[in-house]
Structure 1
Amino acid sequence: MAPDPRCTALRAAKDKKGLSYTQIAQEMGEPEQRVIDICTGTSTATEKEFNLLAQILDMKNAPHDAAHVTQ
């Protein structure tokens, strides 16, 4: 089982869309591990990755605070 996202907004959006990390990774054009690392807070998303992830998950007004800092 893949790890849960640390961000509750991200978790809610991921669950609402019903997407797996694999599906998100395919849509982003990134390796699955990179998506898992971003979603669990192990890695920081670039601005492009953050925006694309928010778009894929239909996150309107995605939080952009310390937990969601981009490089």
Structure 2
Amino acid sequence: MAPDPRCTALRAAKDKKGMSYSEIAKQMGESEQRVIDICTGTATATDKEFNQLAEVLDIKNPPHDAAHVTQ
């Protein structure tokens, strides 16, 4: 089983879309491991990755606060 995202909004959006990390990664043009690392907080997303993730998961007005820092 893949790790759960730390962000509850991300988890909810991922569940609502019914997407796997692999499917998200494919749409973003990233590796599955990179997406997992971003979603679980192991890695920090770049602004581009953050915005792509929000777009793929249909997250409107993604937060850019201390919990959602980008590089």
In percent, how many aligned pairs have the same letter?
82
Does the Cα contact within 8 Å between 1:41 and 1:67 map onto a contact in 2? no
Number of equivalences: 71
Q: Which runs of at least 4 in structure 1 moved beyond 2 Å after TM superposition?
A: none
The letter for the 2-side match of 1:56 is V
Task: Tell me the CA shift for residue 33 of structure 1.
Answer: 0.3
User: Which blocks of at least 5 consecutive residues in structure 2 are unaligned?
Assistant: none
Range with bigger deviation, 57-66 or 43-52: 57-66
Which structure 1 residue ranges, 5 or more long, are not aligned?
A: none
CA RMSD in angstroms comes to 0.5
The normalised TM-score by structure 1 is 0.97
